[in-house]
Amino acid sequence: MLASLFTFLKASLVAGLYRLLCFTWWLDERGRVDLKPGASGQVYAHWHGDELLVLDLGKFTGMAVMASRSKDGELMKWVLKLLGFRVVRGSSSRGGAGGLKGLLDFVAKTDAHTSLAVDGPRGPIYEVKPGILALAQKTGKAIVPVAGAAKWRFVFKNAWNQCYLPLPFSSCVAIYGEPIWISPTATDEELEQAREKLRTSLISLKGQAEEKFHRTFLPAVRQSHLHGA
């Protein structure tokens, strides 16, 4: 009981500080689609490194998101709930796979938006995992790519995802791309084409976002490309 109370109090502090920080940002959103509760739900796709900026875009919309079953996941669950998200968690035995199944079931039955870091939870960085394709295919919802950048930021350089936190009063930008639809009867080849289309879109959007602050975005070259595959 005391541990749960302490976790809730920590989450309240983190959520409060995050809301205060977001209030100071000068955020420029380009091409935003309808995020109002009750609107036809979409699946928002972003790079894991943009997580702390993208989180601001979906707060208090009732968006459905995943949180792990770990101790840190319990804290994050409460932070997300206090920011107005609906949180889905996987079973302790199935982990992330269970979380994705739970998210799929929830989104399929509602008009809730959802959001996934497509290269999470542990990379490789800037590579789209198949989970978001399955989610869109089985729910009939469009994938909407979004990427962001901040003028002033703290970069967690030792993190695999190069995650950053926009600093107070920073200018920020979030750019949305064209929706991508996955047919319920899509073949493996068509799913691979959609995966590559999503990756290309996210890389392009990230480049545009960084360009606003006169920075160049150069994602790592794939090993397969180095060998001419």
Comparing 198 with 121, the larger pLDDT belongs to: 198
pLDDT of residue 98: 62
28-56 pLDDT per residue, tens? 999 987 655 555 689 999 999 999 999 99
**8's tokens:** 């809730």
pLDDT of residue 173: 99
25-39, 71-85, 119-133, 165-179: which has the minimum mean pLDDT? 25-39
Nearest to 100 by CA among 64, 55, 57, 60: 64
Distance, in Å, from the CA atom of 118 to the CA atom of 120, rounded to the nearest integer, reads: 6
Q: Are 35 and 66 in contact (CB under 8 A)?
A: no
Task: Give the CATH fold of the 2-217 domain.
Answer: Glycerol-3-phosphate (1)-acyltransferase (3.40.1130)
pLDDT of residue 205: 98
Q: Does residue 89 have a pLDDT over 50?
A: yes
pLDDT of residue 93: 42
The domain limits of the chain are 2-217
Query: For the chain, what percent of residues have pLDDT higher than 90?
Result: 70
Q: Which helix (H) or strand (E) holds 43?
A: strand 43-46
Q: Does residue 87 have a pLDDT over 60?
A: yes
**Rg of the Cα atoms in the chain:** 17
| Helical ranges in the chain per DSSP H | 2-24, 51-58, 71-82, 95-109, 131-139, 188-211, 223-226
3 state SS of 119: coil
Mean pLDDT of the 72-83 span: 92
pLDDT of residue 125: 95
